[in-house]
Structure 1
């Protein structure tokens, strides 16, 4: 198993510089491939505009790599939608997509619904809280899908500093990855042990694969998609690209605990498909009378493969 992973790393791990933009444009035109970029967003007015501006300027106006750029707003209470639209994105509100089906809270829900409002052969997801954003995040992960017909799913890999500057905190980002996701993958899906950032929010996938995958509605979506893609198309169809450094807003410990619970639940469901006895997580906060329990539901819902949704198949046929 270790030899298989090491062999995969030598064949399916690249750096962004290995595929220059001019090569990607030729491959895109030759194959007639279209590319959609989706930013799921919730109260990200401070960062979403800069991300949209970079993608639009570098990958739509200067170089026509991206065909559509969509921000899906999942209920922001700030100016996320206005900022994104002013920067040049098409903004769609989550609740306006597939209105017959009431929306569930969670990032995975937004990603799933985004397939209904995009048309690209390749769909590229980018988190909306990134700072000092580089167009390499998009061109890097889209690149293998444009140049290699055998690749179907590409994750970004990067350094993920927890704090600014150097010191011990410089390499301590991705705590849920290191404490929860990586052990789970190594123990249960060792073929995926070579992924540097299995929970990263930047990845590009062929639509034909995405529409066959179920989507966990919450924090477990990245692990769920990766595991299910492995079973559907095999390790050799998966890849990763080094795009440098990812700077973003970090969650507090309690939010990370809820994220970890959802990821564990997603893994458990794929291991057993059994009923969960207690889909909740109790955490503690110190109050006036001592430690007080706070119990949060752990999302247990998943959306079916998009090709099972009538509105999607009808729209694609049209």
Structure 2
């Protein structure tokens, strides 16, 4: 491991939570906290995720918002019934036509919330742990230098509790080791559970698609350095894993965002896969979106 990454891992990694909710409420002071759940067709899981966080509202959490990106199922109704404020992403900054992708939803959530600190939690979690939000907030509220906190965890894929995080292991980690080795100590660079200060999140661009997490990590490193980043062990994270066929475009978006952030030209604009049709293998090409949304502070005056 790179020497700087080794030192960072030793000093900025929490393998277990050392604080209570009461500790965080006391440390919070006048700061406010927004928890954001991006959602698309998550009626089966979003209610439980909201319910796991809802008891914190009014003390540690000031607003709990589900940002829906066009669900065709009952995600909106289930989330609202569970106690979240639901915002449709097209109703936020309506003068800007939405583009597809998770990063677009997270970017718009900055304009839909008011917290000084934001926590992002994916809405497809199965058996969500009520400790995720307090764990992520610990370094931000208790450590004066922390600006971005990444969660890390074991990600079961099958009954043997292994095999999750395939894009992380096969793309993101080797990519960071090659292009930004100082970040090679980040256990889950693509984690969907993380927290950041509004000051940082509004100062950086957001990749519109699945490159959002690696883009935020690289931009945070460039803006606030290693000391401004921390990570916390969240234990186990279970969710609906993507089929293998969906991972190629996802990995290509991660690759394109990382290359752009590191000043390397030539990110993929198209990905060609091969599928078997009637016994023959034929190309199947898809466009890889790598667009960025500008830093939110360029659009908002608070």
Tell me the distance in 2 between the aligned counterparts of 1:244 and 1:93.
31
Tell me the distance in 1 between the aligned counterparts of 2:44 and 2:16.
27
Whether 2:107 is the aligned partner of 1:112: answer yes
3-state SS, counterpart of residue 111 of structure 2: coil
- Name 2:33's counterpart in structure 1: 35
- Name 1:152's counterpart in structure 2: 147
3-state SS, counterpart of residue 239 of structure 1: strand
- Name 1:12's counterpart in structure 2: 12
TM-score calculated relative to the size of structure 1: 0.92
- Name 1:45's counterpart in structure 2: 43
3-state SS, counterpart of residue 256 of structure 1: helix
The equivalent position to 1:293 in structure 2, one of 267, 276, 283, is 283
- Name 1:23's counterpart in structure 2: 23
Shift of residue 15, structure 1, vs aligned partner? 3.5
- Name 2:297's counterpart in structure 1: 307
Whether 2:274 is the aligned partner of 1:271: answer no
- Name 1:280's counterpart in structure 2: 270
Tell me the distance in 2 between the aligned counterparts of 1:84 and 1:70.
9
Tell me the distance in 2 between the aligned counterparts of 1:8 and 1:275.
31
Q: Is the 8 A contact 2:39 2:67 kept in 1?
A: yes
Q: Is the 8 A contact 2:17 2:232 kept in 1?
A: no
Tell me the distance in 1 between the aligned counterparts of 2:264 and 2:94.
28
Offset from partner CA, 1:35-70 (integer Å, 9 cap, x none): 00000000000000001011002x126xx1110000
Count the aligned residue pairs: 302
Offset from partner CA, 1:98-128 (integer Å, 9 cap, x none): 1111000000000000000100000000001
Whether 2:113 is the aligned partner of 1:143: answer no
3-state SS, counterpart of residue 257 of structure 2: helix
Shift of residue 285, structure 1, vs aligned partner? 2.1
Whether 2:171 is the aligned partner of 1:180: answer yes
Unaligned runs of 5+ in 2: none
Q: Is the 8 A contact 2:37 2:121 kept in 1?
A: yes
Tell me the distance in 2 between the aligned counterparts of 1:186 and 1:273.
15
Offset from partner CA, 1:223-267 (integer Å, 9 cap, x none): 000001000000011000001100000011111111111111111
Offset from partner CA, 1:167-220 (integer Å, 9 cap, x none): xxx231100000000001011111111111000100000000000010000010
Tell me the distance in 2 between the aligned counterparts of 1:157 and 1:72.
23
Whether 2:196 is the aligned partner of 1:205: answer yes
Q: Which has the higher helix share?
A: 1
3-state SS, counterpart of residue 244 of structure 1: strand
Tell me the distance in 1 between the aligned counterparts of 2:44 and 2:211.
25
Q: Is the 8 A contact 2:203 2:296 kept in 1?
A: yes
TM-score calculated relative to the size of structure 2: 0.97
- Name 2:60's counterpart in structure 1: 65
Q: Is the 8 A contact 1:280 1:298 kept in 2?
A: yes
Unaligned runs of 5+ in 1: none
Tell me the distance in 2 between the aligned counterparts of 1:171 and 1:27.
37
Aligned CA RMSD, in angstroms, stands at 1.4
The equivalent position to 1:98 in structure 2, one of 88, 93, 117, is 93
